[in-house]
């Protein structure tokens, strides 16, 4: 599938996949996705435990067993209103906790933040279409679309693997850098797309950051993609040596 010139939104009648970890992960080819990934120490254990307790209570109250491996699939069968409530419940708490800037916040350094920003831009219009991102002190928000199911999670792993190697070297450290699981959400409408764009651009201000403490990018939607050939026609460079 070629990269879309304009953002595409979730189509409940088209094929999609749902998998589960602490959070549900939805994928649909070509659909814009709002992604958040975070540093490993960005949320204290007590905050994560509280989040999981609230999540599990909500799921049980809506007839979903949170301990079943297919709980995310069961969630996808609830009404649109119930799913929307669940997303707001999870994302609001999750994002507010991240904006408290817990942990060592290595991306507060402009040099470190730029490594992540450069990685996000590297394969734009090749492996994915990048619309917006912000690199915060301890997490990253990305708004992008991917040409095939499975490509989003594969690319997130590539971003994290490459940048962790580079950042650990810069910081003269070793070991874990990113939390393994990311938050992702398929965008349902143009209105929601604009809401996510607004959230990304205002996130640094709402977290009381100085201009040197974040990196923001927003694509001009009036400018056409310069490279839009189907991904299958391109060589695969996903060996972890590049972003």
In this prediction, residue 28 carries a pLDDT of: 78
pLDDT given for residue 181 in this prediction: 78
What is the rounded average pLDDT of the residues 33-38? 93
**Helix ranges restricted to H, 123-184:** 151-170
Task: Tell me what pLDDT residue 233 has.
Answer: 30
Of 183 and 136, which is predicted with more confidence? Answer: 136
More confident site: 212 or 8: 212
pTM: 0.79
**Residue 166 reports pLDDT greater than 70:** yes
Q: Give the residue, 212 or 242, on which the prediction is more confident.
A: 212
Residue 149's pLDDT is: 76
The tens digit of pLDDT for each residue in 88-132 reads 887 788 888 898 999 999 999 999 999 999 999 999 999 999 999
| Burial readout 222-231 (b: 16 or more C-beta within 10 A, e: otherwise) | eeebeeeeeb
Nearest in space to 37 (alpha carbons), one of 109, 119, 111, 110:
119
Phi, psi of 40 (to 5 degrees): -65, -25
Cβ contact 58:181 at 8 Å: no
Q: Angle at the Cα of 70 (from 69 to 75), degrees rounded to 5?
A: 130
The predicted model gives 227-237 an average pLDDT of: 34
Give me the helices (H) in the chain, please: 45-61, 71-76, 80-98, 110-122, 151-170, 190-206
Comparing CA positions, the residue from 38, 27, 69, 59 lying closest to residue 181 is 38
Most confident of 75-79, 203-207, 229-233: 203-207
Q: Which residue has the higher pLDDT, 57 or 21?
A: 57
Determine the pLDDT at residue 193: 93
Buried b (16+ CB within 10 A) or exposed e, 46-78: ebeeebeeebeebbeeeebebeeeebbebbeeb
17-43+104-218 falls under which CATH superfamily?
Transposase IS200-like (3.30.70.1290)
Do residues 103 and 138 lie in contact, with contact meaning Cβ atoms separated by under 8 Å?
Answer: yes
Mean pLDDT of 163-170: 97
State residue 194's pLDDT score: 94
């Amino acid at each position: 599938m070629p990269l879309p010139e304009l953002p595409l939104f979730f189509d409940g009648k088209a094929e999609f996949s749902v998998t589960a970890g602490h959070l549900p992960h939805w994928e649909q080819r070509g659909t814009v996705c709002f992604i958040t990934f975070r540093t490993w120490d960005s949320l204290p254990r007590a905050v994560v435990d509280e989040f999981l307790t609230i999540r599990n209570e909500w799921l049980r109250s809506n007839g979903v067993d949170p301990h079943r491996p297919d709980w995310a699939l069961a969630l996808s069968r609830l009404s649109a209103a119930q799913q929307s409530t669940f997303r707001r419940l999870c994302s609001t708490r999750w994002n507010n906790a991240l904006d408290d800037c817990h942990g060592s916040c290595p991306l507060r350094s402009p040099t470190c933040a730029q490594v992540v920003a450069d990685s996000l831009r590297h394969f734009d219009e090749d492996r994915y279409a990048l619309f917006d991102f912000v690199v915060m002190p301890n997490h990253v928000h990305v708004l992008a679309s991917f040409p095939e199911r499975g490509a989003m999670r594969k690319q997130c792993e590539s971003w994290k693997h490459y940048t962790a190697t580079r950042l650990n070297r810069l910081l003269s450290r070793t070991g874990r850098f990113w939390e393994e699981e990311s938050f992702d959400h398929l965008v349902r409408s143009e209105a929601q797309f604009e809401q996510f764009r607004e959230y990304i651009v205002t996130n640094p201000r709402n977290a009381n950051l100085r201009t040197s403490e974040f990196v923001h990018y927003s694509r001009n939607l009036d400018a056409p993609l310069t490279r839009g050939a189907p991904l299958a026609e391109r060589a695969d460079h996903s060996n972890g040596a590049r972003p």
